[in-house]
Amino acid sequence: MTNKKVLVTGGLGYIGKIVVKELLDAGHCVMIASSSYDGMDLRAVKCPESIFSGAKDIYRRIGSPDVCIHLAWTDGFVHNSPEHMKNLSNHIVFCEHMMSGGLPVLSCMGTMHEIGYWEGEIDEDTPCNPQSQYGIAKNAMRQSLLLSSKDFACTLHWLRLYYIVSNDIGGKNIFAKMMQAAQAGKKNFPFTSGKNLYDFMEINELARLIVVASMQTAVKGVTNICTGIPETLASRVEQFISDNKLPLKLDYGQYPDRAYDSPGMWGNATKIKQILSQNMDTLQD
């Protein structure tokens, strides 16, 4: 893999900080765009420009990177926050100006919530009918960028993420909430039925796959960053409690299942497996 100059937006966020480490460890030159730079890896550099400045020449102003991995997003775990639609145009304008300025590769983070209510496997052609403001905004961004990217010589990756597993106590998903509950000395954790089937992935593996998918151009468009293996939420949460030796007992049925969550949805892993296979072949050459 040739070393490249990579801009990571949201580079100090929940996923971004691990993606940045993966890139730096691989020898790439990494530029971070973030709302705060506390705790930044000193091997990286700060982006000299606000990515939402609206400048048409933003690509040149920030140093003409080879790849942009756009992870920045506000309130990703607050699915009906008004911030999603409020900020949508800023994301689209930034990405389109980067592409029109000459960016070779743009990799954007998608979500299973673009799909909405769906039962079964999801591939790149699965119809979308999002049921939350987060899903609606991400779906609109994907549709807009896939359309506008046809006008530019830019490889666009839309990396659709599923259920992230992490023991980062500073996170906002159910796993972080369990870590916080254990730290607070609680013994019981209120839970849903736990029957929903999802596609779970450890955050370090997720970051690795984001990097591998972003640093190639042979496979593009919508790619599921997934395992392709459905597992019940209850099973994965119980495993997490065991793996992290948390003194918690799940109180099943204390919370209702969300109306917009399907009984089971997981990704088709064909494209990410193809990317991994090609990457392995390249490393062996």
The set of catalytic residues is 134
Give the pair of three-digit tokens for residue 127.
Answer: 């119809």
d(CA 261, CA 239): 21
Sign of torsion over alpha carbons 158, 163, 167, 169? positive
Cβ neighbors of 100 (< 8 A, separation 6 or more) are 56, 59, 151, 152
DSSP 8-state assignment for residue 151:
G
* 16, 45, 72, 128, 139 from 260: Cα distances, Å: 27, 40, 24, 13, 15
DSSP 8-state assignment for residue 58:
H
What ranges make up the beta strands (E) of 218-270? 221-225, 230-232, 249-251, 265-267
Token look-up 């961004």 returns 141
